[in-house]
Amino acid sequence: MHLLTSGSKILVLAFVCVFTQSRAEQSKRMAETEFGKMPDGTAVKQFTLHNAKGMVAKIISYGATITELQAADRNGALTNVVLGAATLEEYLKGVNAASVIGRVANRIAKARFTLDGLEYHLAANNGPNHLHGGRVGYAKVVWEAKALPPRNGEGSIQLTYQSKDGEEGYPGNLHVQVTYTLTDDNELRIEYEAKTDRATPVNLTNHAYFNLAGQGDVLDHELWLAADRYTPADEELIPTGQIAEVKGTPLDFTKPARIGARIEQLKPKPGGYDHNFVINNGGKSLVLAARVAEPKSGRVMEVRTTEPGVQLYTGNHLKHGALCLETQHFPDSVNQPKFPSTILRPGQTFSSATVFAFSAH
């Protein structure tokens, strides 16, 4: 039998106290509940993250989806600023969701590409083209999800998905990992990582629909983009391969402008903004890509990313009830040799980060 000395007892008690405080702090910052069950009985988890300033983020394992993001206005009042739903059933019916999109976000022309001499055929789910990973993609599957130990008191959720070789027509088994962190600086940080056993295109993003007022349309939201150029596209929104200047077009947000100021110039097609912008100095490090301000509430959202592009979509099928800023590689990059490559090969790691930072003025 070994007896603890008085000094050892003090150390043990101190450890227990620290551990208990850590667990208590984690419980304040994070909660895990069941959101519902899939038709096959698979449970869908929901994680609720709180930061020290009252901001709240809710994420579910179905589609690695942000279901709610509560941000304060200039008076401190919290409002949900992303489109979402209260039940799993609504998501299963196809509600507009802030889900992770993959294996390749945006469009691939004619739903096919050639890689290392082999032609691959994908699901044509957008006319003749492939969109957002296919008919199911990553937005409509249940990810493995777990809470991570708090870093500096900040809560993080890690979600993983094993995308099998041949899924939606893509080559290679792809291991995908997404980590959400809600910081005490009112930032929702999204970190993506992927590894493959066979060469494959990878382009991951989150398709969050934002409305900083929490209701109404976004036409009075003021937008600034760190983008002097964009990728022109045809009527099916497939890039032509050119990179053009935004100056002198309705796409010029190099100075803050109302979303609705020139949107009529883009009708009837595509009915509003649905364009990929080339971020100035994008794709090299985490840079400021966009800033959105909502005048009445005073809410401001800044978007920082390591990606080279951002797709601005103004909820054209929702009467402009929300806007998306999808950080990404350019659409159809796998068929456009002049665009930054989306090809991931064995031994390499796909790594990307996007931060949505909130404040109020």
Contacts (Cβ under 8 Å, ≥6 apart) of 309: 231, 276, 277, 278, 279, 282, 327, 328, 329, 330
Q: Which of 207, 221, 275, 320 is catalytic?
A: 207
Q: 33-360 is classed in which CATH architecture? A: Distorted Sandwich (2.70)
Q: Long-range contacts for 87-95 (Cβ within 8 Å, ≥24 apart)?
A: 87/36, 88/35, 88/36, 88/37, 88/38, 88/44, 88/60, 88/62, 89/36, 91/60, 91/62, 91/63, 91/65, 92/38, 92/39
At residue 177 the predicted structure's pLDDT band, cuts being 50, 70 and 90, is: very high
Burial class (CB in 10 A: 0-12, 13-18, 19+), 209: buried
How does the average pLDDT of the chain come out, rounded?
93
In this predicted structure, the answer to whether residue 266 has a pLDDT above a threshold of 50 is yes
Task: Report pLDDT digits (tens) over 220-263.
Answer: 999 999 999 999 999 999 999 999 999 999 999 999 999 999 99
Task: Report pLDDT digits (tens) over 337-346.
Answer: 999 999 999 9
Residue with tokens 């002049």: 338
Least confident piece of the model among 12-16, 124-128, 194-198, 201-205: 12-16
Report the 10 Å Cβ neighbour count for 60.
Answer: 29
Q: Which residues lie across from 147 on neighbouring strands?
A: 157
Q: Rounded CA gap, 278 and 16, in Å?
A: 52
Looking at residue 28, what is its pLDDT? 73
Q: How many CA atoms lie within 13 A of 50 on its CB side?
A: 12
Q: Rounded CA gap, 230 and 251, in Å?
A: 8
Asked about 207 being catalytic, the answer comes back as yes
Domain spans in the chain, listed from the N-terminal domain onward: 33-360
Asked about 326 being catalytic, the answer comes back as yes
From 189, 206, 217, 190, select the one nearest 296 (Cα to Cα).
Answer: 217
pLDDT over 70 percentage in the chain: 93
pLDDT over 90 percentage in the chain: 89
Residues in the chain: 361
Q: Rounded CA gap, 294 and 225, in Å?
A: 15
Residue type for position 148? L
Q: Rounded CA gap, 217 and 316, in Å?
A: 11
Residue with tokens 């870093």: 151
Q: What is the pTM of this model?
A: 0.92
Q: What is the arithmetic mean of pLDDT over 180-196? A: 98
